Amino acid sequence: MNIPIFDRNQGNIKASEKAILSRKQELKNTLLEVENEVAVSIETARLKDELYKKFRNTYTKEYTDLSKDMILSYEKRYITILEFTDFFETYRSSVVEMLKLQTDRMDAIEGVNFSVGQGVLIPKFSDPVTEEK
């Protein structure tokens, strides 16, 4: 025969056990969310970095060489002022696009650092395409 004196707090004990299980599940869910956020931000940063490097290494170098040729052609009067300004408008657009890629890359790296909570990724600032003299 159970004496009610010893069973007084059983309801609160069971409620506490259920609350502990609930908190453990919330912790697991939070950990999964954080892991997912970090994985997504790392993948985004990797993709932005690859795109930036690809654009910088090929497209920018070609445009720099082409701009030198266009200036020389204009000086020698092989092209008109209209062709010259059209080219440099296009060149300006490509430089703006390059700067946008660079900004997107930095935002993605900052997103990784924010997700992790500390500066784990530090971007390398490589030299831009240098002019040969």
pLDDT tens digits, one per residue of 83-110: 999 998 988 998 898 899 999 999 999 9
- The answer to whether 60 and 128 are in contact (CB under 8 A) is yes
pLDDT tens digits, one per residue of 4-50: 566 677 778 889 999 999 999 999 999 999 999 999 999 999 999 99
Six token digits for residue 119: 């500066």
Q: What pLDDT is recorded for position 6?
A: 63
Alpha-carbon distance of 79 to 84, in angstroms, equals 7
Q: Is the pLDDT of residue 1 over 60?
A: no
Share of the chain above pLDDT 90, in %: 45
Q: What pLDDT is recorded for position 130?
A: 39
Q: What pLDDT is recorded for position 106?
A: 92
pLDDT tens digits, one per residue of 49-76: 999 888 887 777 788 888 889 999 999 9
Q: What pLDDT is recorded for position 82?
A: 93
> Structure pTM?
0.66
Q: Is 104 helix (H, G, I), strand (E, B) or coil?
A: helix
- The answer to whether 38 and 111 are in contact (CB under 8 A) is no
Q: What pLDDT is recorded for position 54?
A: 85
